[in-house]
Amino acid sequence: MERTAFIFPGQGSQYVGMAKDLYENNVKVQKQIDEAEDLLDFPLKDICFEGPEKLLTQSQYTQPAIFVHSAIVDTLVKQKGLYPEAVAGHSLGEYSALYSAGVLNFEDALNLVKIRGALMQEAGEENPGTMAAIIGLDSEKVVNLCNIASSVGIVKPANFNSPGQIVISGSVQGVERAMMLAKEAGARIVKKLPVSGAFHSPLMEGALGGLVDALENAPFDNPEVPVYTNVNAEPETNPEKLRLLAQKGLLSPVRWEDIIKNMVKNGIHKSFELGPGKVLCGLNKRIDQEFECQSFDTQSDLEKLN
């Protein structure tokens, strides 16, 4: 039997209307989303189901919205008898992965995501920055470009997503200089991203203290399956190490390409992307064409499992 991983999306996968059909079709989902809304103290359903998009893209709303959607799909898929041999999540998605693996319960994970989203939104307002995708250059070249561009402002690789697709993050001046250098170096696409801060860069340092405190106070249990983490792309099973890596993950780049390569090396050849969108399935195809990926987002996706 094929070994399977559950993978969970991060910020950028949200869309207006997310989880609405799941809510309308399942009493247990209604209960879980209503409970989440009580814990969050903001109108989660309205923001997810109706938007506006501008509100949904603010980190303090986006991150809990994506986590709740992913956690619900994880529960529904497991109810149909599907279980993973390993889990991983892209940036914020690592918290969904920790929940799926049984490291964190729903309430603790949601509380951490709520704190993380609010702190990152705040850090983004205090130290405005931006992010850009660079497509068509290798990682070594992008690292070099960032080093050169950092003479005018902070800029670093934030996500090593797939071969030739790297996201950079930092101050507006640093990112814009790196974008210019990337175009000159022959990048196929150089595109600024609609984000509320310079994620996975030193400009997020203001969020670190509060997140470390929250993580220290959250009970981390032994995972039921290995969690491949963003920071080192390795399968981890030690709860204290997972806690430490979640702290480091705020400022460190996401090593998604290495995560998938390591899964394949360890005999995992199939994944299910659980939550909004299909971003990770797209990345996985570019990392390894043989690596199967199926996304479960909507009610109709889940009905295919019957």
User: pLDDT truncated to tens, each residue of the chain (306 aa)?
Assistant: 579 999 999 999 999 999 999 999 999 999 999 999 999 989 999 999 999 999 999 999 999 999 999 999 999 999 999 999 999 999 999 999 999 999 999 999 999 999 999 999 999 999 999 999 999 999 999 999 999 999 999 999 999 999 999 999 999 999 999 999 999 999 999 999 988 899 999 999 999 999 999 999 999 999 999 999 999 999 999 999 999 999 999 999 999 999 999 999 999 999 999 999 999 999 999 999 999 999 999 999 999 886
**Domain 129-192 class, CATH top level:** alpha beta
59 is catalytic: no
Give 3-125+202-303's CATH code, choosing from 3.30.565.10, 3.40.366.10, 3.30.70.920, 3.30.420.40.
Answer: 3.40.366.10
Residue 306 is predicted with a pLDDT of 67
Query: Domain spans of the chain?
Result: 3-125+202-303, 129-192
The yes-or-no answer on residue 70 being catalytic is no
Active-site entry in 59, 91, 171, 201: 91
* pTM higher than 0.95: yes
Please, are residues 138 and 169 in contact by the beta-carbon 8 Å criterion? Answer: no
pLDDT of residue 2: 73
Give 121-124 contacts, CB < 8 A, sequence gap 24+. Answer: 121/58, 121/59, 121/60, 121/196, 121/197, 122/206, 122/207, 123/197, 123/203, 123/204, 123/205, 123/206, 123/207, 124/59, 124/195, 124/196, 124/197, 124/198, 124/203, 124/204
Q: How many CA atoms lie within 13 A of 70 on its CB side?
A: 37
pLDDT value, residue 290: 94
Catalytic residue among 69, 90, 200, 271: 200
Dihedral angle, C-alpha 89, 256, 250, 177, nearest 10 °: -140
